[in-house]
Amino acid sequence: MTVPRLCGGGIASSPQSLTSSKETVMKTVIRRDTVVIGAGLSGLYAALTLKEAGQSVAVIEARDRVGGLTLSPQSPWLGRRIDLGGQWVSQKHTRICTLIRRYSVPLIRQFTAGEQVCIHDDKTFRGPLTTIPGMSEADFAEYTKAFDKLYQTFDALPANPWEGELAAKLDLMTYDSWVREMLPPGLARNALLRLPGAYYGVMPEEVSALELLQKLRGCGGPRFMSDMETGGMSEHMWGSQAVSEGMAGDLAGDVFLASPARRVEWSGSGVVVETDTTRFEAARLVFACAPAMIQQIAFSPALPAARRLLHQRFPNGRNTKAVIAYDKPFWRKKGLSGRVISTSGSVTAVLDIGGAEPGPGVLIALFSGKAALRVDPLEGDARRKAVLGLLAQALGSEALEPQEFHLQVWADEEWSAGASSPFLIPGQLTHYGAGLRAPVGPIHWAGTHMATEFRGYMEGALAAGEAAAGQILATDKA
Ligand SMILES: Cc1cc2nc3c(=O)[nH]c(=O)nc-3n(C[C@H](O)[C@H](O)[C@H](O)COP(=O)(O)OP(=O)(O)OC[C@H]3O[C@@H](n4cnc5c(N)ncnc54)[C@H](O)[C@@H]3O)c2cc1C
């Protein structure tokens, strides 16, 4: 019998033989106050919060690593870690910034010197970072006006965004139909339709307008989110997975890798979570993974219908990210910042993450939502060719000869099922909003999609983990 791999060393509990299911499988038994499913940022932070409050915990992780949607392999050529998942933060993301300091993760200011390139269909335009190059003054004025309307609309929503007439109206529309109602065809409309993909990997026609608008509001609004001076894109890590590894180190002996949760038995008095080798018994359970993942787990008894149906209406989007390293940041010599955007969906964003110090050139290229469909369906080397071709179109033919190329298609990942933050389809937030975070018996819900602020971000993942831990501690105290 294989015992699950422990992260950070240590012995979890003395193995004990028990029988389980029809085939009489011998399983190790581990007992803790709380079991957490998912060793991404949210699950690890929930566990750490509980452990620091004196509880015993076990974190069960399907993969053979911690970090979930943060993934930072070592780059042999750069001699440091690179990031294929979450990376950018703002100082307003207070929890993640505290952990970055606690675990000494390198944090770099976003490089912003030079112009940006915008791709409209087959044409490229360059201009200042504060504009959308190639957009006429009239289109830009219309785009700015539409942005103001977007802010006015989400500001008009109540604190509980699922309440009231405006919410009811917006929840019946997709974000796509809301934008089309507001703007005629053109670049301004295209630019606004980029937002769901850019921030959440979602297509505008699949997400509820209400869901998207309240998410944007909770993240400080799109102007803040894309701000490279003080906002959501102002600083980035080199090796964000180290935050999760740091927490796993502090949870030494309590994190069980390569252990997908297969079955959950629950009642008023507690839970049993079974992996292939182990039976975890606890008073409480925190789910810190996407609803699409929860749906693959067998429950006994079944979850209440309202919760099961909610999980079916909470899919993931698509995120694909490339990291490309060059001898030199050749674009900087041309007066370019390395930033590339597109109104026609060729790419979500390209950014220079090399930092201000002289050194090699490093770009990331993000393909989210619809833009991911330009890369994901391709096979083998065609994916690399598509990414490099796009970079060459925007920045020059030097882009075709990188020293190193990494590509992560998150939709290909068994334990992520897309990325980056699950979203509600139309008509659901008004229906399920009030009960979204309510525990079901001993089961609590975390994951970035459960956050009220900075949902979809690493900060949201931590906030949701902290909130689930807070619910447990409050219930246990009462
Ligand atoms: C390409 C990309 C770029 C991003 N950029 C940014 C950014 O710049 N800034 C930012 O703040 N955020 C960014 N994000 C989002 C951020 O990474 C996520 O919001 C955050 O990491 C989510 O954490 P989580 O713990 O909620 O979920 P996850 O990281 O998804 O963790 C869930 C964990 O549960 C595990 N799991 C699933 N099923 C089971 C099971 N049955 N049993 C046991 N374990 C299971 C999974 O393996 C996973 O480890 C980005 C995401 C992507 C994909």
- Spacing, Cα 139 to ligand 1 middle (Å): 36
- Spacing, Cα 150 to ligand 1 middle (Å): 28
Q: How confident is the model at residue 186 (pLDDT cuts 50, 70, 90)?
A: confident
Instruction: Indicate the top mutation candidate among 37, 44, 289, 367 to test ligand 1's pocket, ranked by most ligand atoms within 8 A of CB.
Output: 289
Q: Within 13 Å of residue 106, how many CA atoms lie on the same side as its CB?
A: 12
Q: How confident is the model at residue 2 (pLDDT cuts 50, 70, 90)?
A: very low
Residue partners of 121: CB distance under 8 A and separation at least 6: 344
> Is any ligand 1 atom within 6 A of the Cβ of residue 68?
yes
> Is any ligand 1 atom within 6 A of the Cβ of residue 42?
yes
- Spacing, Cα 44 to ligand 1 middle (Å): 11
User: What is the arithmetic mean of pLDDT over 181-195?
Assistant: 89
- Spacing, Cα 277 to ligand 1 middle (Å): 25
- pLDDT, tens only, 298-335: 999 999 999 999 999 999 999 999 999 999 999 999 99
> Is any ligand 1 atom within 6 A of the Cβ of residue 37?
yes
pLDDT over 70 at 349, yes or no: yes
Residue carrying structure tokens 């079955």: 263
Residue of the nearest CA to atom 2 in ligand 1? Answer: 85
What pLDDT shows up at residue 234? Answer: 96
Q: Within 13 Å of residue 318, how many CA atoms lie on the same side as its CB?
A: 20
55 in helix, strand or coil? coil
Instruction: Indicate the top mutation candidate among 83, 364, 420 to test ligand 1's pocket, ranked by most ligand atoms within 8 A of CB.
Output: 420
304 in helix, strand or coil? coil
CA of 261, closest atom in ligand 1:
42
465 in helix, strand or coil? helix
CA distances 269 to 57, 397, 416, Å, are 17, 64, 31
Rounded CA separation 158/150 (Å): 15
- pLDDT, tens only, 259-294: 999 999 999 999 999 999 999 999 999 999 999 999
The dihedral built from the CA positions of residue 464, 466, 469 and 470, taken in this order, carries a sign that is negative
For residue 7, give both structure tokens.
């992260």
117 contacts 396 by C-beta, under 8 angstroms: no
449 contacts 421 by C-beta, under 8 angstroms: yes
> Is any ligand 1 atom within 6 A of the Cβ of residue 4?
no
- Spacing, Cα 70 to ligand 1 middle (Å): 6
Q: How confident is the model at residue 6 (pLDDT cuts 50, 70, 90)?
A: low
What pLDDT shows up at residue 477? Answer: 80
> Is any ligand 1 atom within 6 A of the Cβ of residue 345?
no
What pLDDT shows up at residue 7? Answer: 52
User: What is the arithmetic mean of pLDDT over 187-210?
Assistant: 91
Task: State which H helix or E strand residue 99 sits in.
Answer: helix 94-102
Please state, rounded to an integer, the average pLDDT across all residues of the chain: 93
406 backbone dihedrals φ, ψ, rounded to 5°: -125, 140
Residue carrying structure tokens 């079974």: 274
What pLDDT shows up at residue 13? Answer: 43
> Is any ligand 1 atom within 6 A of the Cβ of residue 134?
no
- pLDDT, tens only, 216-245: 999 999 999 999 999 999 999 999 999 999
- pLDDT, tens only, 100-144: 999 999 999 999 999 999 999 889 999 999 989 999 999 899 989
> Is any ligand 1 atom within 6 A of the Cβ of residue 257?
no
DSSP letters spanning 63-77: SSSS-TT----EETT
> Is any ligand 1 atom within 6 A of the Cβ of residue 456?
yes
List of domains in the chain = 5-68+241-315+420-477 (3.50.50.60), 74-113+232-238+318-412 (3.90.660.10), 133-225 (1.10.405.10)
Single pTM value for the model:
0.95
How far is C-alpha 194 from the geometric centre of its chain's CA atoms? 17
- Spacing, Cα 353 to ligand 1 middle (Å): 21
Task: State which H helix or E strand residue 274 sits in.
Answer: strand 270-274
- The type of residue at 120 is H
Residue of the nearest CA to atom 49 in ligand 1? Answer: 68
> Is any ligand 1 atom within 6 A of the Cβ of residue 297?
yes
- pLDDT, tens only, 421-444: 899 999 999 999 999 999 999 999
Rounded CA separation 136/149 (Å): 20
For residue 22, give both structure tokens.
């029809």
- Spacing, Cα 29 to ligand 1 middle (Å): 28
Q: Which residues are paired to 367 by β-bridges?
A: 320
> Is any ligand 1 atom within 6 A of the Cβ of residue 38?
yes
What pLDDT shows up at residue 9? Answer: 36
